[in-house]
Amino acid sequence: MSPDQSDASSPSSSSGGSPTPPTHISLREWVIANSFTIRVEAPDPAAQEERIKRQLRQEIVMLWKRVWLGIYRLEGLHGLTHSYCLRRLYIGAGLEIDLWESPMEQGTANTREYGWNSGVYYLKLYNNVSIATLGAVVDLMTEYGTQVAAVDRAYELLERHQRDAYVDAASGIRFRAPEPNLQVEWSRLSAALRDNLWQFQLRTGVMNQLIFDEAVRLHRQNPTRALRGWFVRERAFPNGRR
């Protein structure tokens, strides 16, 4: 066998199969020289934007649900209301029923004159609204959620002052007189909560209108995409329940 034939059949030959490291360079140099080039695709801006929007929409649903369950309903969309529970505790504390005003129902009722888009119940998002708008909704719902603590304080105040009941021959079941200054303390707390909820309901109504206006404007600029919207409550309670 000639030297040329011997070289052609040597293990260092690169003909056929995987390349074999030659003996005249180091293994490290050979690995570097034969490494595959990894192509890193540039991120898709549209995909990145949609991912951020999806995360913001999920956060909005979570924050909305905290507001709804912490202030208005104990469960679901149509379950027992906090207003009803507080009224029961109000009576149990011996306070004057004729002076009862629900801070939740009053705050909600005050927004009805502003139309269909008023209040947290009617918060609606659209598929094409901007990241900035979704971020503004997150901020609003976060602020709105601070009122959950005020509702908790209302419960604590009334639960702490529950009175014993007795049967009155003329008027039936009655509760013993409330502790001094409780009516004043409750009225102050209730009025502050009612005013705050009214303001947040109005702000949510304004936000609803801004969202709708932006969605319509963007749809006119790009009418090929359908204008789709959904109430946040539908995502929070797909079946009307928890």
Q: Quote the pLDDT of residue 31.
A: 62
Q: Domain residues for 100? A: 48-236
Report CA-CA distances (Å) from 195 to 88, 100, 111, 113, 148.
Answer: 22, 15, 12, 16, 14
Residue 183 domain flag: yes
Residue 153 domain flag: yes
Q: Quote the pLDDT of residue 171.
A: 61
Residue 23 domain flag: no
Residue 30 domain flag: no
- Residue 217 — φ and ψ, nearest 5°? -60, -45
- Residue 55 — φ and ψ, nearest 5°? -65, -40
What's the mean per-residue pLDDT of the chain? 81
Closest CA to 165 of 156, 154, 173, 157: 173
Comparing 147 with 163, which gets the higher pLDDT? 147
Closest CA to 82 of 159, 157, 152: 152
Question: What span, in angstroms and rounded, lies between the C-alpha atoms of 163 and 168?
Answer: 15
Residue 32 domain flag: no
Closest CA to 122 of 50, 196, 202: 202
Helix, strand, coil percentages (3-state) for the chain, rounded to 5, are: 60, 5, 35
DSSP 178: P
pLDDT in tens, 110-135: 444 444 456 899 999 998 899 999 99
Confidence of residue 96 (pLDDT cuts 50, 70, 90): confident
Count the domains in the chain: 1
DSSP element (H, E) containing 157? helix 147-160
Residue 4 domain flag: no
Question: What span, in angstroms and rounded, lies between the C-alpha atoms of 123 and 2?
Answer: 87
- In this structure, of 8-17, 31-40, 153-162, 220-229, the range with the lowest mean pLDDT score is 8-17
Residue 241 domain flag: no
pTM: 0.74
Average pLDDT over residues 33-58: 78
Residue with tokens 């609003």: 140
Angle at 60 between CA 106 and CA 58, to 5 degrees: 145
Residue 113 domain flag: yes
Segment 182-188 long-range contacts (CB within 8 Å, at least 24 positions apart): 182/93, 182/94, 182/95, 183/95, 183/96, 183/99, 185/157, 186/90, 186/93, 186/95, 186/154, 186/157, 186/158, 187/99
Which two tokens mark 135?
Answer: 């971020």
Which two tokens mark 77?
Answer: 């969309």
Asked whether 111 and 205 are in contact (CB, 8 A), the reply is yes
